[in-house]
Amino acid sequence: MDEAALQQALKDTQNLGEMPDADAVGTVGSPDCGDMVRMWIKYKEKDGQKVIDKASFQSFGCQTAIAVASIATQLIRGKTKEEALSLSAEELSKPLGPLPPMKIHCGQMVEGALRAALEAEQKAAAVPAAAPVVADQSGTLADALSAAGKTQGKIKIVLTSERKD
């Protein structure tokens, strides 16, 4: 893994925080390390195509997960849903170089959150408008972790409300 690229991504983390007007949200947690990533996506129309306008994330994960999520939210801007779905964890984390074996799941978690968000929007389009999009996606990631009783221990909490981009 490229340590300098990791440090740069952490120093200049992009698109961190909730997106209140998002079209879709997806959350993935790792049962092994207890970390979670939540990703929000907003679409727009461009040249008659629906593309990703912007994406944001919250993570209580390790630094690698935060760096990959930051890179991923930049990488998928302007892509169609299909293009974003075709991206692998390796592609999303490519600027960081090959991840060491212990960190591979960090990139996979970001890929999973992205897929969950992309697929949640697909499901939302297929159900009546009155139906909840994804019932368990309300609240913040902190709420989800609190509910799961995982606010203590080794989880690193990233305070997103203090950051202004």
Instruction: List interacting residues with ligand FES (CB under 6 A).
Output: 30, 33, 35, 61-62, 64-65, 103, 105-106, 109
C-alpha separations of 70 from 82, 128, 129, 147 in Å: 20, 33, 31, 26
Kindly tell me which of 52 and 68 has the beta carbon lying closer to ligand FES.
68
For residues 40 and 67, what is the distance between their CA atoms, to the nearest angstrom? 16
SS3 119: helix
HSE, CB side, 13 Å, CA atoms: give it for residue 94: 7
- Smallest gap from Cβ 7 to ligand FES, in A, equals 16
Kindly tell me which of 134 and 155 has the beta carbon lying closer to ligand FES.
155
For residues 111 and 10, what is the distance between their CA atoms, to the nearest angstrom? 18
- Smallest gap from Cβ 127 to ligand FES, in A, equals 31
Positions annotated as catalytic residues are 33, 106
- Smallest gap from Cβ 64 to ligand FES, in A, equals 5
Kindly tell me which of 52 and 113 has the beta carbon lying closer to ligand FES.
113
What are the backbone angles phi and psi of residue 58, rounded to the nearest 5°?
A: -130, 145
